[in-house]
């Protein structure tokens, strides 16, 4: 009988899922806006799906730098001092701050367009050290094709960006290369802080046939200022961030950032279960959504082709 009981206990132990150990995951973003907030929430959802639940066996810390790089560096140092299991910086500036602050604590960055250009890793396939993550490199050629589909006579694209954000500088280089192939010219207008966004947008009036906003946290955090200029000037505004379409952009082809967060969270789980971050290849996020805004298009003087509306993932009236 005793042997039967021991055998039953052993079988029960094997069949029951292992309880996830208590962990701390510290998340930070350069600023709060819908895409980055969705990425943060996606990370938490992936952790919960893997058995890490806040208030039970997970301490989930979140801090926003409110658009200030100096604050991002301060948060990074604070997190390192607290010694969490993993740090998840969202956006290029936050990732640069965290990677500079620690060589020991595992770091899983996300929403970073160019991890190599931002000097977060030196090899995407074998990052080494304590850092890995997920890139959200925009499909820029497809963005230009989208603009041309809506504005077939467009010749000049106005690029609205923060010249101090490494992510956007990298995207500008990609945009210029792709624009040349498409027979388009790029005109730049920079804003280094959110208060400058409306003025930078206004500087493109009369110089561009459309405004293109990349996944630039400074511009997106103050997008309404650029939208107001675009509506007044009948200058169609497009973004790489799908969450910005409901805020007044004409259209966007980009990632669902909740899914980006989930993909990031899955990497975090691998590390929590014992994998070395330096052995995990940096991936480019999977999936793109097409979101269009009929009302915004009308306010900016354009009509969306029915074929485009028909294949959109989401249509905002």
Contacts of 137 (CB under 8 A, 6+ apart): 113, 114, 284
| pLDDT attached to residue 33 | 87
| pLDDT attached to residue 287 | 81
How far apart CA 122 and CA 131 sit, in angstroms, is 10
Q: Which residues of the chain have pLDDT under 50?
A: 1-18
| pLDDT attached to residue 298 | 97
| pLDDT attached to residue 20 | 61
Q: Tokens 């009302």 correspond to what residue? A: 295
- β-bridge pairing 23-29 and 251-254: unpaired
Extract the tokens encoding 129. Answer: 């050290």
Residues 150, 151, 157, 159: is their CA dihedral positive or negative?
A: negative
Contact in structure between 244 and 226 (CB atoms under 8 Å): no
Extract the tokens encoding 41. Answer: 């929430």
The packing angle between helices 92-101 and 69-82, to 10°, is 40
How far apart CA 166 and CA 92 sit, in angstroms, is 7
| pLDDT attached to residue 166 | 85
What distances in angstroms separate CA 293 from CA 84, 276, 306, one per listed residue?
41, 43, 12
pTM for the full model? Answer: 0.78
How far apart CA 312 and CA 149 sit, in angstroms, is 13
């Amino acid at each position: 009988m005793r042997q039967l009981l021991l055998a039953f206990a052993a079988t029960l132990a094997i069949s029951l899922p292992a309880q996830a150990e208590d962990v701390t995951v510290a998340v930070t973003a350069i600023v709060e806006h819908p895409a980055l907030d969705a990425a943060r929430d996606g990370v938490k959802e992936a952790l919960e799906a893997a058995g890490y639940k806040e208030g039970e066996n997970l301490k989930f810390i979140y801090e926003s730098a409110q658009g200030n790089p100096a604050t991002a560096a301060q948060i990074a140092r604070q997190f390192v001092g607290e010694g969490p299991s993993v740090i998840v910086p969202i956006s290029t500036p936050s990732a640069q701050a965290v990677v500079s602050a620690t060589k020991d604590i595992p770091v899983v960055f996300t929403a970073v367009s160019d991890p190599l250009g931002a000097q977060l890793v030196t090899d995407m396939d074998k990052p080494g050290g304590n850092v890995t993550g997920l890139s959200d490199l925009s499909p820029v050629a497809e963005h230009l094709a989208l603009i041309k589909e809506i504005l077939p006579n467009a010749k000049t694209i106005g690029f609205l960006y923060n010249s101090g954000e490494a992510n956007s500088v990298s995207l500008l280089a990609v945009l210029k290369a792709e624009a040349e192939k498409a027979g388009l010219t790029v005109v730049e207008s920079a804003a280094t802080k959110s208060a400058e966004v409306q003025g930078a947008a206004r500087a493109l009036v009369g110089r561009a046939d459309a405004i293109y906003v990349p996944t630039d946290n400074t511009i997106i955090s103050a997008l309404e200022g650029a939208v107001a200029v675009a509506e007044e000037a009948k200058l169609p505004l497009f973004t790489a961030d799908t969450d910005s379409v409901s805020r007044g952009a004409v259209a966007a082809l980009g990632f669902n950032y909740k899914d980006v967060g989930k993909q990031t969270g899955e990497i975090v789980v691998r590390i929590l279960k014992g994998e070395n971050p330096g052995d995990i290849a940096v991936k480019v996020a999977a999936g793109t959504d097409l979101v269009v805004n009929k009302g915004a298009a009308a306010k900016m003087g354009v009509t969306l082709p029915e074929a485009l509306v028909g294949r959109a993932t989401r249509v905002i009236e």
